[in-house]
Every structure is written in C-alpha cells, then in structure tokens.
Amino acid sequence: MKSNVIRIHPSDNVAVASREIREREQLFGISDKTIFAKQDIPTGHKVALEEISEGHRVVKYGESIGAAEREIHSGEHVHTHNLKIEEV
C-alpha cells in the first residue's frame, strides 16, 4: 500500500498527511503500528501516532512544537484545536 503519512523524525509522536486521509482510513508509512484515522486529515496536517496526555509535548522534527491542550488519541487530527500555541 502506498504511504499516506510521513513521520519526519523517529521520535515524533505525530505524522504528516502526504495526501488527504479519510476518517477510518489506515495510516501507511509508519512501519511499527496499525493506526486508523479518527477524522478526515487534510494534506499537510498532523495525525497523532500515539496517545498524548494533556500537557504532554507534541513532537515533530524530533522537537517539541507545543503541548497537548487536552488528551489526544492515536489517529486523531492534531492542530490548533488541541495543541497549545506556546508564546514566543
């Protein structure tokens, strides 16, 4: 199956949709686990690869890009609605 997500760094807990992903579609491109999308994920948007508890770091490029504003489930769309924008 052709991949539909990209995990940029091995320690990332989110991956990026390389094309539009529909709800309940399986994520391909991450070898180690079976995950289904919990919602539609637009191209370029992020999807959680594991459970991320409230306040825990969302990791992309191997670095924190912010904190989970509430519990985020594996397969869930990660964006401004559940990821806290840290002040610069």
Partner 1 sequence: MGFMGYRRQDGSVGVRNHVAVISSVVCANGVVNAIAHAVPEVKAVTHTEGCGRGPKDVFVASRTLIGLGKNPNVAAVLVVGLGCEFIKPEFIVAGLSGTGKPLETISIQDKGGSVKTARKGIEIAEKLLNHAASIKREPCEWSDLTIGLKCGGSDSMSGVSANPMAGEASDWLVTKGGQVILAETTEMIGTESILAKRAADLNVAKRLTELIQNQWKEAKDVLGPMAHMVISPGNMEGGLSTIQEKSLGCIAKGGSSQIQEVIEYGEAPTKKGLIIMDTPGSDVFSMTALAAGGAQIILFTTGRGTPAGFPIVPVIKIASNTKLFEHMADDMDLNAGCILEGTSIEDAGKMLIGYLQKVAEGEKTKSEINLNDLLAIHTTGPSF
Q: Which residues bind partner 1 (CB under 8 A)?
A: 2-3, 6, 8, 16-19, 29, 42-46, 60-61, 63-66, 78-80, 83, 85-86, 88
**54-59, long-range: CB within 8 Å, 24+ apart, which pairs?**
57/13, 58/13, 58/14, 58/83, 59/9, 59/11, 59/12, 59/13, 59/14
Cβ at position 33, least distance to partner 1 in Å: 18
Tell me the two tokens of residue 79: 């964006």
- C-beta of 38 vs 45, nearer to partner 1: 45
Cβ at position 8, least distance to partner 1 in Å: 6
- C-beta of 29 vs 38, nearer to partner 1: 29
CA torsion through residues 63, 77, 73, 35, sign? negative
Cβ at position 79, least distance to partner 1 in Å: 5
